[in-house]
Amino acid sequence: MSRKLKGIEPERVFYYFEEITKIPRCSFHEEKISNYLKNFGEKQGFETIQDEALNIIIKKPGYPGYENSPIVVLQGHMDMVCEKEEDSNHDFSKDPLDLKIEGDFLKAEGTTLGADNGIAVAMCLALLESKDIPHPPLEVLLTTKEESGMDGAFTLDSKQIDGRILINIDSEEEGTALVSCAGGERNLVSIPIDWEKSNKDDIAYSIKIAGLQGGHSGMEIHKGRGNANKIISRILAAIKDECDISLASIEGGSKTNAIPRNGSAILCLKREDEKIFTEVIKIVEEQIQNELKTSDPEFKIIIDKIDYKIDKVFSKDSLSKVIAALTLIPTGVQSMSMDIEGLVESSNNLGIVRTLDDKLTIESAIRSSLGSLKKNIAKQIKTVADMVGGQWESYSSYPSWEYKKDSKIREIFRQVYKGQYGKDMNITAIHAGLECGLFKEKFGDIDMISFGPNMSGVHTPEERLSISSTERTYKLLLNVLKEIK
């Protein structure tokens, strides 16, 4: 099979990036990519550790003259968010990504690209195989299940890592280095469903949300993009106010950390209410199109009459409780930082809604740089669950990464960046969660920084990676490592 990225610089980075796009690596399904990395490290002759969580640690001695330099941990995660267009037949469990180049950008046809965080893996592999790049002793740490709650980092044995300088390559804006990040947690609300037989004389419709951009629930939560789950509940509430409806199912989103682009519902109504139903849909669609004309100009509502029999529907009480919960659970930005201009301080993403046999589940991702605000948002969600007779649970909680006043690695990045670009590097914090918060908790006094090349549309099929930015960013990393002696 011919290489699509042949000749693109840095050649070995993109060689390995293309290689890993052929290997399944959705969160919770990292066995093959982890084994690939383990085999790579062993073939290079390096000490290689694969733990029970499938995390990989590969240790490479320092370049001649750097043998006694401080050990540097290069860190990224091997899993990716597996999202695809509705009409895509791609099977993430076996199909290689269909890479394509559009000018300076690399993307995948119909799916996420996995540059978040495959480009970190590729840079690390290129460095590990190199024979002529000066660098201190390296510990390459590639974790699993980062996108689903940082489970790999949670289970990591800190005794397996000796380095006390850590460079995280999981940021998405060239020229910006991150030195602090938000903490977070996932919340699950389960609402019991009482079912009843549908009225045999009712007609049925499907409602689908289309045209939303979605996006990363940390990096892009402040952009005001539509949330398909909130929109579906708003539509149902509006229809319910005007006519008698029954709900057969409601679904939306696929990842808690991705702003949901798609949502759908199947409902039944009396034949005489069909005109009112379509009029309400039109009014709500026009209202939301006006509200989202800048953030989601392609938004639309698609309705189709269903010709098959709907056997059962939610009871009226269950329908009211579901609409209430979806309406009241907060989503989007909840507070802005008063210390760092433009930084989101806390948020919630109502990411996934599922109709199951006996309940409806709602999953959310909370983020906050302040633990007290994170707890308060969780309390709001729990209160809603209590109001509708549902169950609430919290999972995958991870700490924030607080700013370190004195940082040698930060100063090295500043100096090297200024020399390479002729301008100052932007040093800031981020609302998205990074594994650095967990590493600080595990390793204690560790000096960390996060950086990466330009990407956009991460966690969506519109994900793109800048080729030229990747080349410059990799050069920056090599120049930084050269200075750690």
State the catalytic residues. 79, 146
**Distance between CA atoms of residues 434 and 431, nearest Å:** 9
* b/e 401-432 (16+ beta carbons within 10 angstroms → b): bebbeebebbebbbebbeeeeeeebebbbbbb
E runs forming strands in 386-470? 391-398, 426-430, 447-450, 455-456, 464-466
- Alpha-carbon dihedral 32, 184, 173, 178, rounded to 10 degrees: -110
CB 189 within 8 A of CB 390: yes
CB 199 within 8 A of CB 246: yes
Helices (H), 221-348: 228-242, 274-291, 316-328
Q: Which amino acid is at 428?
A: T
In sequence order, what are the residues at sequence separation of 6 or more whose Cβ sits closer than 8 angstroms to the Cβ of residue 346? 182, 333, 334, 335, 366, 367, 368, 369, 370, 373, 374, 377
**For residue 463, how far is the Cα from the chain centroid?**
11
CA distances 70 to 165, 222, 484, Å, are: 8, 39, 7
DSSP run (H or E) holding 72: strand 72-77
Dihedral pair phi/psi, residue 93, rounded to 5° = -75, -15
Residue 49, classified by CB atoms within 10 Å of its CB into exposed (0-12), middle (13-18) or buried (19+), is middle
CA distances 56 to 34, 170, 478, Å, are: 7, 16, 22
**Distance between CA atoms of residues 395 and 409, nearest Å:** 33
**Distance between CA atoms of residues 475 and 75, nearest Å:** 17
